């Protein structure tokens, strides 16, 4: 039976070096799947398992296939070199035993002096192939500090959480069997003519994400970008609008994360209605411990302007909650529901927007 464990750790590190967003959680997820005999039939089966667990796009799947095939070829070449090495099958003779015993005696009782200079042959160039690097063994990573890396919220959990942000409206095609209405029609008529169908529900949710960029939010750009991408491309939300700002959403905000494409806040809010969900992502001054009256008053005006269009507002703060005390963020919590950017905080913010 195919054993995928020797390939797993090498593939995990190769993909992380090539830009895959993999944490220790993804590694142990694959390890748990292998222990349950998933992906252990053959190499293709193992490759399909890793595509499901580690890849978020067709491009990543193609890249994983390339790296996986490279590792397999390296491993097979290493096995061939090991098996092709000549072995000494000659039976030992008395003379061989005497020579080995005498060498052991010399090495244990005497020390042989070696000359300080050694003459070597000059290296000659040849056309032999370059040496092939062998896959890294698992035991070399036993004490690796990278396995202790902690991510407050993973991309996969974001994708899962967005499923709960819904606004179902039955305006799809009429192909869903309504058992209750069918039974009622049969009861009224006394006989069965045809089943009753109802329209399929669609998710017509509208989400507006306002993201704080640059400054104290620079260390959290990775998480805020994952939040935006998963909502736009990996969720069932019908419409996702994204705008960026610096420190606070003022009269003008931006349509790109480099803060170059300016647009007025009123123009963005004019596309919102009472069912629009607004999610603000900012540290609100908690990252640097600031407490500015001007920032509080300006944020109050912005929240009041948003509330003229919708009351479904939530705030995600990437700074841990204990650090909100004595900062602007603590005051803003009395204006709008604010949650830390972790798994529990994301679930609570989506629950607040769903009301």
Confidence of residue 54 (pLDDT cuts 50, 70, 90): confident
Q: Tell me, what DSSP letter sits at residue 145?
A: G
As a whole number, mean pLDDT of residues 145-171 equals 79
The answer to whether residues 24 and 147 touch, using CB atoms and an 8 Å cutoff, is: yes
Q: Mean pLDDT check: name the lowest of 21-30, 107-116, 309-318.
A: 107-116
Quick one: 253 and 282 in the same domain? yes
pLDDT at 239: 95
Domain boundary among 157, 179, 201: 201
Q: Can you tell me whether residue 29 is helix, strand or coil?
A: helix
As a whole number, mean pLDDT of residues 79-104 equals 55
Quick one: 191 and 247 in the same domain? no
Q: What CA–CA distance (Å, rounded) separates 276 from 208?
A: 7
As a whole number, mean pLDDT of residues 272-283 equals 95
Number of domains in the chain: 3
Helices (H), 36-135: 43-54, 58-83, 94-109
338 domain residue, yes or no: yes
Quick one: 181 and 232 in the same domain? no
Helices (H), the chain: 5-17, 24-35, 43-54, 58-83, 94-109, 155-161, 179-189, 221-233, 265-269, 293-307, 328-332, 343-354
The answer to whether residues 279 and 316 touch, using CB atoms and an 8 Å cutoff, is: yes
Q: Mean pLDDT check: name the lowest of 53-67, 76-90, 110-124.
A: 110-124
74 domain residue, yes or no: yes
The answer to whether residues 224 and 318 touch, using CB atoms and an 8 Å cutoff, is: yes
The model's pLDDT over 116-130, given as tens digits with 9 standing for 90+, comes to 444 444 444 444 454
Domain boundary among 80, 108, 125: 80
The answer to whether residues 28 and 53 touch, using CB atoms and an 8 Å cutoff, is: no
Is the pLDDT assigned to residue 158 strictly greater than 80? Answer: yes
Q: What CA–CA distance (Å, rounded) separates 178 from 196?
A: 6
As a whole number, mean pLDDT of residues 277-294 equals 91
293 domain residue, yes or no: yes
pLDDT at 86: 55
The answer to whether residues 309 and 276 touch, using CB atoms and an 8 Å cutoff, is: yes
Domain boundary among 64, 80, 96: 80
The answer to whether residues 253 and 245 touch, using CB atoms and an 8 Å cutoff, is: yes
277 domain residue, yes or no: yes
pLDDT at 85: 59
Q: What CA–CA distance (Å, rounded) separates 2 from 163?
A: 36
Q: What CA–CA distance (Å, rounded) separates 187 from 181?
A: 10
Quick one: 218 and 341 in the same domain? yes
More confidently predicted of 226 and 52: 226
Q: What CA–CA distance (Å, rounded) separates 231 from 237?
A: 7
pTM of the model: 0.57
Taking the mean position of all CA atoms in its chain, how far away is CA 321?
Answer: 23
Quick one: 324 and 348 in the same domain? yes
The answer to whether residues 293 and 248 touch, using CB atoms and an 8 Å cutoff, is: no
Is the pLDDT assigned to residue 99 strictly greater than 80? Answer: no
210 domain residue, yes or no: yes
Q: What is the maximal distance between C-alpha atoms in the chain?
A: 111
The model's pLDDT over 187-209, given as tens digits with 9 standing for 90+, comes to 988 888 889 998 888 899 999 99
| Residue 310: both structure tokens together | 């919708």
pLDDT at 191: 85
Quick one: 240 and 197 in the same domain? no
pLDDT at 68: 83
Quick one: 349 and 208 in the same domain? yes
| Residue 52: both structure tokens together | 């499901």
pLDDT at 1: 62
16 domain residue, yes or no: yes
Quick one: 223 and 326 in the same domain? yes
Q: Token match 């009429």: residue?
A: 174
Q: Can you tell me whether residue 170 is helix, strand or coil?
A: strand
| Residue 18: both structure tokens together | 């090539």
24 domain residue, yes or no: yes
As a whole number, mean pLDDT of residues 209-218 equals 93
> Residue 128 phi/psi, 5° resolution?
-75, 150
Residues paired with 207 in a beta bridge: 240, 277
Q: Mean pLDDT check: name the lowest of 14-18, 98-102, 318-322.
A: 98-102
Which is nearest to 223 in space by CA: 146, 158, 309?
Answer: 158
Task: Compute the residue count for the chain.
Answer: 355
Is the pLDDT assigned to residue 93 strictly greater than 70? Answer: no
Is the pLDDT assigned to residue 112 strictly greater than 50? Answer: no
Quick one: 208 and 342 in the same domain? yes
Quick one: 264 and 290 in the same domain? yes
57: containing domain: 5-80
Angstrom CA distances, 141 to 13, 28, 144, 147, stand at 10, 14, 5, 9
Quick one: 258 and 342 in the same domain? yes
248 domain residue, yes or no: yes
Quick one: 176 and 235 in the same domain? no
CATH number of the domain that residue 284 is part of: 3.40.50.410
């Amino acid at each position: 039976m195919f054993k995928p464990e020797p390939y797993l750790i090498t593939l995990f590190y190769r993909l992380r070096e090539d830009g895959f967003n993999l944490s220790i959680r993804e590694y142990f997820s694959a390890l748990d799947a292998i222990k349950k005999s998933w992906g252990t039939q053959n190499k293709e089966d193992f490759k399909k398992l890793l595509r499901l667990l580690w890849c978020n796009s067709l491009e990543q799947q193609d890249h994983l296939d390339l790296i996986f095939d490279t590792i397999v070829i390296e491993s097979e070449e290493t096995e061939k070199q090991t098996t092709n090495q000549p072995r000494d099958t000659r039976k030992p003779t008395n003379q061989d035993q005497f020579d080995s015993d005498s060498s052991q005696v010399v090495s244990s009782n005497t020390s042989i002096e070696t000359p300080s200079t050694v003459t070597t042959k000059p290296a000659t160039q040849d056309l032999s192939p370059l040496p092939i690097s062998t896959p890294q063994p698992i035991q070399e990573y036993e004490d690796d500090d990278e396995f202790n890396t902690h991510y407050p919220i993973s991309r996969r959990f974001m994708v899962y959480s967005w499923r709960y942000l819904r606004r179902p409206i039955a305006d799809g095609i009429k192909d869903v069997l309504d058992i209750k209405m069918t039974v009622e029609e049969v009861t009224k008529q006394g006989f069965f003519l045809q089943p009753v169908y109802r329209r399929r529900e669609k998710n017509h949710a509208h989400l507006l994400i306002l993201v704080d960029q640059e400054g104290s939010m620079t260390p959290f750009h990775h998480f805020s970008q994952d939040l935006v991408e998963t909502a736009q491309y990996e969720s069932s939300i019908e419409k996702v609008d994204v705008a960026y700002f610096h420190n606070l959403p003022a009269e003008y905000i931006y349509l790109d994360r480099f803060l170059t494409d300016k647009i007025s806040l009123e123009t963005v809010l004019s596309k919102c209605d009472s069912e629009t969900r607004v999610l603000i992502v900012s540290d609100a001054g908690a990252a640097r411990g600031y407490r500015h009256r001007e920032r509080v008053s300006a944020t109050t005006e912005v929240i009041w302007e948003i509330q003229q269009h919708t009351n479904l507002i939530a705030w995600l703060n990437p700074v841990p909650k204990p650090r909100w005390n004595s900062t602007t963020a603590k005051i803003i919590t009395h204006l709008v529901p604010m949650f830390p950017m972790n798994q529990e905080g994301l679930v609570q913010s989506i629950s607040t927007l769903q009301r």
